[in-house]
Structure 1
């Protein structure tokens, strides 16, 4: 388990700030910063030809004017997609960022990054080494970086490649074997669905020495109890909803 202090915020923007601008875009990252968030969570996704882009879905339809499986999309095709027009006319022409573009933007704003490896497949060797190499070459402050995933195999490979990184196991509902899985990756935090978390689970995670991050709460009242239980940070689509937590 990583014990040094990394997380210096109680509020983290989800997919940038997904209620304020098109999710997982540079505009969304900037919107999170404008709202006062000092950390953002974004998703890195593997596409064709080994391309790494900031995207969440397995298909292109919901967040772009494209169609088809995200994994099969060619980088040159993805670069032409409109990833903002669906959100509002103001963001028409917004692009799907590459991982490197996002890293540059986030660091230029002085933000911390929770980078989720969005990969459901077993072939984690096709995404993890490339992501880790990009971070090694283009991300400067290790204490402003958390790498998270629902895919435990992906995190195991992250740990094997670079055990100095701060890793977070993602869950919806926390499973019985969470302690074993977190120990396997030398985890920094457990990140889970706030609506499925119990007081007993939260207290057990904190007692075991891990940070506890909860997603995706967009109403401050919905996680009032969670702060009392020991939640360290909330992941939200609208950081403005938690302005009081960002004071100072």
Structure 2
């Protein structure tokens, strides 16, 4: 568990601001900033040749003009894809950002970053060292950065390689062994599905000294009770819906 309190916000944009602009693009990151968010969550995905892009899906089809398995896509090919036209004509020509593109954009806007390692496989050694190397070389403020993942092995490797990072274990539904997993990574926060969270779980997370973040909350009324349970921040597709919480 990390002692310092890095989270200075109650509202974090999800995949940038996924309801305001095409998710996981620089346009979406800018939209989150324009909506008043001071932190954004984006997904980093490993592709062919060791490329690292900001992307969520296992296939390219939903959010780009490309098709096929994301992991097999080559950086040169991905760079040519349109990642905005599916959302609206306003974003035709929007690119799939590289991790470096996103880091530069986010820091230029003065935002905090929740970087989710999107990796379902066991071969975490293929993505974690690469991500940590880019962060080491291109991210300036460790107290403005959280690394999250559903993949506990990926977070374990993050901790083993750089114990100073602020790590967040992602869950859909918080399991019985959540505390052991958090202790194994000296975790900073538990990030979970707001709709599956119980009051008892929330209070247990807070009693253990961890931050509690809930995704993907797009209706303030649906998480109204969660604040009383101890929720520290929402991860939302539309930060404007939670503008009343902004500092």
Secondary structure of the corresponding residue to residue 191 of structure 1 = strand
Unpaired runs of 5+ residues, structure 2, are none
1:15-34 to structure 2, matched below 5 A, reads 15-34=15-34
RMSD: 0.3
- 1:3 deviates by 1.4
Separation in structure 1 between the aligned mates of residue 237 and residue 63 of structure 2, nearest angstrom: 15
* Residue 132 (structure 1) shift: 0.3
- Name the structure 1 match of 2:51: 51
Provide the C-alpha distance between the structure 1 equivalents of 2:194 and 2:3, rounded to a whole number of angstroms: 23
Aligned position for 1:62 = 62
Does 1:83 find its partner at 2:80?
no
- In the TM superposition, what is the alpha-carbon distance from 1:17 to its structure 2 partner? 0.0
1:172 is matched with 172
Q: Give the superposition deviation at 1:169.
A: 0.2
- Are positions 1:73 and 2:73 aligned together? yes
Alpha-carbon separation, structure 2, partners of 1:244 and 1:202: 23
Equivalent residue, structure 1, for 2:159: 159
Q: Quick one: distance in 2 between partners of 1:234 and 1:16?
A: 13
Q: How does 1:191-210 map to 2 (within 5 A)?
A: 191-210=191-210
Equivalent residues in 2 for 1:1-248 (5 A)? 1-246=1-246, 248=247
- In structure 1, runs of 5+ residues without a counterpart are none
> Normalised by the size of structure 1, how large is the TM-score?
0.99
User: In structure 2, what is the Cα distance between the partners aligned to 1:227 and 1:5?
Assistant: 18
For 2:34 and 2:222, locate their aligned partners in 1 and report how far apart those are by CA, in whole Å.
Answer: 23
Distance 1:141 1:74 in 2: 30
The count of aligned residue pairs is 247
Question: After the TM superposition, which segments of 4 or more aligned residues of structure 1 sit over 2 Å from their partners?
Answer: none
